[in-house]
């Protein structure tokens, strides 16, 4: 049966190449048709569809948080099943010469027991090609299991590094992080120097997010520990802050702000391309005129020299068009929220809350003095 040989070999080669590109190859794959991309795109679309019917935010975020780890398990199962079918077709191609695989059901059973190296032995091939396939598949199954086990620690290490940087923003930028809170909480002595160090750290952090999420796109589906935090909202806050500094001030010490803006924009643009999330205009205005004036006043109190208001507003608008459409595209695809420049009401930082505090009434207040976080 030539057709069974051709189809089976094509299936096996396709899955092996997919596994190589997903696990071993440390760069973005630009090929349009990929089984792994197909798997993630449609399973994630179905998962989001169900999530939209969960109205309570905490439950919805919990449900969405299950997708990342489960998707890895289901992806490995998907690869294993397809490989078993591929080898089953090769065994079935020997049906005329080997009665042990006379039906596809028996051939698939032989393939499954061989792939998982069960060694039951109730179905045994009697031809030389069949025995060769058994040895090849058992070796492949063992190697596949080892590859999967080595892949999981890499994924969780990348996730852990990303989350550390996000958690560090909690006390410095609020929950969720915003540019307004970053400025307000660094308005005291040495605040400008502290902001510069934060931007320097996030130049590297955004580069790490870009590298890890392009090499291992599955990490992007892992949600943060808190419902009001995400890697996308953290990038948005840093982009907003750097755009404000570049457009609204005339300070000569803006080199770090420009470098961080460039790196963060590079990250959101490349990831939007990776997930094919079409950039669109934000559905809501993230910065009102009053909010813009408040931020300018905060910049002035922090010690920055301000540029002309009209020129600054025009420049900020142009800079926002460089990254906001991509943020919106990623937010829609990943079902995440993008915070505004300034929150409409005060919120309690995650580090100030606990289940015991909320129940007993001893939750810390949301007010953080501006000099609490200045170095």
Q: What are the sequence ranges of the domains in the chain?
A: 2-151, 169-360
Are the CB atoms for 232 and 323 separated by under 8 Å? no
pLDDT score for 57: 87
CA atoms of 114 and 111, how far apart (whole Å): 5
pLDDT score for 91: 87
CATH number for the region 2-151 comes to: 1.10.287.70
List the end-to-end C-alpha distance of the chain, in Å, as a whole number.
Answer: 75
Q: pLDDT tens string for the chain (375 positions)?
A: 788 889 989 999 998 888 888 888 777 776 777 888 889 989 999 999 999 999 888 899 999 999 999 999 999 999 999 999 999 999 888 877 666 667 888 888 988 998 888 877 778 888 888 889 889 989 988 888 888 888 888 899 999 999 998 998 888 888 889 999 998 888 777 778 888 899 999 999 999 999 999 988 999 999 998 888 899 999 999 999 999 999 998 876 688 999 999 999 999 999 999 898 999 888 888 999 999 999 999 888 888 888 899 999 999 999 999 999 999 999 999 999 999 999 877 777 777 776 565 544 443 443 344 444 444
Are the CB atoms for 32 and 11 separated by under 8 Å? no
pTM assigned to the model:
0.84
pLDDT score for 357: 56
Q: Is 306 helix (H, G, I), strand (E, B) or coil?
A: strand
pLDDT score for 142: 87
For the record, the structure tokens of 141 come out as: 């199954």
DSSP symbol at 249: B
For the record, the structure tokens of 110 come out as: 């032989």
Are the CB atoms for 327 and 286 separated by under 8 Å? no
pLDDT score for 100: 65
Place of tokens 């790490």: 208
CA atoms within 13 A on the CB side of 121: 1
| 204 φ, ψ (degrees, to nearest 5) | -75, -40
In terms of Cα–Cα distance, which of 264, 312, 263 is closest to 292? 312
pLDDT score for 251: 73
């Amino acid at each position: 049966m030539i057709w069974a040989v051709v189809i089976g070999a094509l299936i096996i080669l396709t899955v092996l190449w997919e596994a190589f590109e997903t696990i071993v190859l440390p760069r973005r794959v630009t090929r349009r048709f990929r089984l792994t991309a197909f798997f993630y795109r449609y399973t994630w679309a179905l998962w989001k569809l169900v999530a939209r019917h969960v109205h309570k935010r905490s439950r919805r975020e919990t449900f969405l948080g299950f997708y990342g780890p489960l998707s890895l398990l289901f992806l490995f199962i998907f690869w294993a099943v397809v490989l078993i079918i591929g080898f089953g077709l090769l065994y079935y191609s020997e049906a005329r010469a080997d009665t042990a695989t006379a039906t596809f059901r028996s051939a698939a059973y032989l393939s499954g027991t061989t792939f998982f190296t069960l060694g039951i032995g109730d179905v045994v091939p009697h031809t030389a090609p069949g025995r060769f396939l058994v040895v090849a598949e058992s070796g492949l199954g063992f190697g596949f299991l080892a590859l999967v086990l080595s892949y999981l620690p890499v994924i969780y290490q990348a996730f852990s590094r990303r989350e550390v940087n996000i958690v560090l923003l909690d006390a410095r930028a609020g929950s969720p992080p915003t540019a307004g809170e970053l400025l307000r909480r660094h308005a005291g002595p040495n605040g400008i120097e502290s902001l510069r160090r934060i931007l320097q750290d996030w130049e590297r952090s955004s580069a790490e997010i870009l590298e890890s999420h392009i090499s291992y796109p599955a990490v992007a589906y892992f949600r943060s520990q808190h419902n009001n935090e995400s890697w996308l909202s953290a990038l948005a806050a840093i982009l907003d802050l750097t755009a404000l500094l570049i457009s609204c001030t005339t300070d000569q010490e803006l080199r770090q702000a420009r470098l961080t803006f460039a790196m963060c924009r590079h990250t959101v643009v490349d990831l939007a391309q990776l997930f094919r999330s079409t950039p669109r205009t934000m559905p809501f205005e993230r910065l009102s005129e009053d909010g813009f004036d408040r931020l300018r006043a905060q910049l002035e109190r922090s010690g920055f020299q301000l540029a002309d208001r009209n020129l600054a507003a025009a420049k900020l608008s142009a800079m926002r068009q460089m990254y906001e459409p991509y943020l919106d595209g990623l937010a829609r695809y990943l079902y995440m929220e993008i915070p505004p420049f300034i929150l409409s009401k005060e919120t309690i930082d995650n580090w100030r809350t606990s289940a015991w505090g909320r129940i007993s009434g001893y939750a810390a207040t949301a007010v953080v003095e501006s000099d609490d976080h200045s170095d």
